[in-house]
Amino acid sequence: METNLREAELNVVYETCRVIEQALKLDQALETILGILSSSLSMKRATVTLKDEETGYLVIRASHGLSEKERKRGIYRQDEGVTGLIFRTARPYVAPDISKEPLFLNKTRSRSILKGSITFLGVPIMLHGKPIGVLNVDRLFGNEVPYEEDIRLLSIVATLIAQFVSLNRQVKLREEKLRKDCSISGSDAQAKLFMVGKSPAMETVQQQIRKVAPSKASVLLLGESGTGKTLVAKIIHELSTRARQAFVKINCASLAENLLESELFGYEKGAFTGAIRAKPGRVEQADGGTIFLDEIGELPLGLQAKLLRFIQEKEFERLGGTKTHKVDVRVVAATNRDLASAVIEGSFREDLYYRLNVFPIRVPALRERKEDIADLLHHFLERTSQEYGRVVGITQSALAQFTRYDWPGNVREMENLVERLVIMADGDEICTDILPVYLNKADPDKEKIPLSRIEEMERKEVLTALEQNGWNQTRTAKELGVTLRQIGYRIRKFGFEKMVEEHKRGDRF
């Protein structure tokens, strides 16, 4: 028997290992693995059956080549059929021609459409020495490869699957444990409206918010994705006299032009096929309150004119209607695009731009306000800790990495990472071990290579010697037991040249 895996087999193993990233979405990961098996090894139909922990039944968790209906039929008792047999005996099973196999229940009835002989192969999925499921595969004309090889490969894949399942169960258990006793506070919504930020840049933002909120003015929020624009929009609403009325949000990038128009301004009965009754739009829902137009930079040109009129006159017609409606709505818009360039490009109306830009608030990127990182981190740690019912802190060195990192996804990226880290943390602290590697990539341009501790000691030694010897290089070199050239080198390395020069001059005068 060959001892090396065939190339195709190796490929299966390799590809399967790559799926590990998806392990937390178990069903999806399993489907992917079966897909890999089928495309690499011309296996036509494959299923992963796992024992349901509650009922004890064997249930198809993933399949390849089965329809949803077929899949649903695939529930077995442990004593049933070939799948049951493999599970109970914890041994592989091969049926060279399943049409001659009495054990075949063909529960999913998927095989009836196939003519000719089908070879069936099945292996148990073992975890800690016990079967937890079965991996089954059909090969259509599988005689060119000896069964032992197939079984060997399937067993390897089954082992990997078992690891996936195990990982998945551990995470689920941990999450459950963490969520237990979690007290969902009534003021959850309020807590989420809290804005962290003592940096000068954020102070400015908060001042602007306080100033503009009580007025009726439209506000334009500018800033990269994840910086907190939506949060600012909500806070503006909360701090305004409209707080008790609706805050209605619409994303201008999410819908095609005509749909967006009917969503925004509503439509009359018969406005288009399917409009069997009239429907008010978001601006009507927002009457008395605030409408938040997210990603305003993506608003189609055709609608820009209508929006401009709406902002100026608070007037509009529903789609397919002639009656003019009037509402009292405050407009807050946000974009991560450079609207001024969009105007120059011609994709954004200049008049609308100026109308919106009356009160712009720029929410700075997180890397522009690194002072806020620690506060934000503690804020999210506290919130996540509450949510999961346990207190998690962070070590100094992990915090240092957080601060050094540039956060291209801004506050949202940090918020998501903290949540993940709280789940992953073993003890009660987040330490550098569990931080993603990219966090540690220091930017070489930014960091003036810091001195090592030894260099730091050397620097002090040289400085002291220079001072004690009146900045005379010859005497200093002698005291330190180095050559004149060597002391010159150190003076340059530690940036003492200027001081040496000054003392030379001082000596002369």
Per CB under 6 A, residues contacting ligand ATP are 192, 195-197, 223, 225-231, 336, 376, 379, 411-412, 415
Report the distance separating Cα 389 and Cα 183, nearest Å.
7
Of 219, 249, 241, nearest to 332 by C-alpha is 219
Q: Which one of Mg ion, ligand ATP, none is in contact with 132 (Cβ closer than 5 to 8 A by kind)?
A: none
- Quick one: which segment of 223-231, 269-277, 373-381, 422-430 binds Mg ion (CB under 5 A)? 223-231
The site partner of 223 among Mg ion, ligand ATP, none (C-beta below 5 to 8 Å per kind) is: ligand ATP
Cβ 229 to Mg ion shortest distance, Å: 5
Burial class (CB in 10 A: 0-12, 13-18, 19+), 110: buried
CB of 415 to ligand ATP, least distance (A): 5
- For ligand ATP, the closer of residues 226 and 266 by Cβ is 226
CB closer to ligand ATP, 363 vs 491? 363
In order, the DSSP letters of 295-358 are TGGG--HHHHHHHHHHHHH-EEE-BT--PEEE---EEEEEESS-HHHHHHHTSS-HHHHHHHTT
Q: What is the Cα–Cα distance from 333 to 352, expressed in whole angstroms?
A: 12
335 lies in the binding site for Mg ion (CB under 5 A): no
CB of 468 to ligand ATP, least distance (A): 51
Pick 153 or 296: Cβ nearer ligand ATP:
296
Q: How far is the CB of 187 from ligand ATP (least distance, A)?
A: 15
Q: Pattern 225-244, binding to Mg ion, x per CB under 5 A?
A: -----x--------------
Decide: 349 and 304 in contact? Cβ < 8 Å: yes
Q: Which does 32 bind (CB under 5 to 8 A by kind): ligand ATP, Mg ion, none?
A: none
User: What span, in angstroms and rounded, lies between the C-alpha atoms of 161 and 158?
Assistant: 5
Report how far residue 137's alpha carbon sits from residue 45's, in angstroms, rounded to the nearest whole number: 6
The pair of three-digit structure tokens given for residue 194, joined into one six-digit string = 């809290």
φ, ψ of residue 199 to 5 degrees: the values are -65, 155
CB 44 within 8 A of CB 38: yes
Nearer CB in complex with Mg ion: 251/395: 251
Q: How far is CA 493 from CA 54, 486, 488, in A?
A: 69, 10, 9
Degrees (nearest 5) of the Cα angle 314, 316, 317? 160
**Alpha helix stretches (DSSP H) within 134-244:** 147-179, 188-192, 200-212, 229-238
> Which residue number has the CB closest to ligand ATP?
228
* Among ligand ATP, Mg ion, none, residue 131 binds (CB under 5-8 Å by kind): none
We find the least distance from the C-beta atom of residue 352 to ligand ATP, in angstroms, to be 20
Compute how many residues bind Mg ion; rule: CB under 5 A.
1
Least distance from C-beta 232 to ligand ATP, angstroms?
7
The contact pattern for Mg ion, residues 52-81, with x = CB under 5 A and - = no contact, is ------------------------------
Q: Between 28 and 416, name the residue whose CB sits nearer to ligand ATP.
A: 416
Binding site for Mg ion (CB under 5 A): 230
